[in-house]
Amino acid sequence: MNPPHGFLRRSATRTFRDRREAGRAVAEELMSYRDRDDVLVFG
């Protein structure tokens, strides 16, 4: 399983104001895994 194209590159260079903003960004990125039978995301 590979992450969506560019996910790690964008995440590694971005600075967030706080944990809430970071959490929202991660949640947005994880949406690309929605409805996949081969992925389980724990939160």
Tell me the C-alpha distance between 30 and 12, whole Å: 15
pLDDT at 1: 57
Domain ranges, ordered by start, for the chain: 1-43
Please tell me the pTM assigned to this model: 0.55
Sequence-distant (≥ 6) Cβ neighbours of residue 14 within 8 angstroms: 25
**pLDDT tens digits for range 13-40:** 788 999 999 999 988 988 888 899 998 8
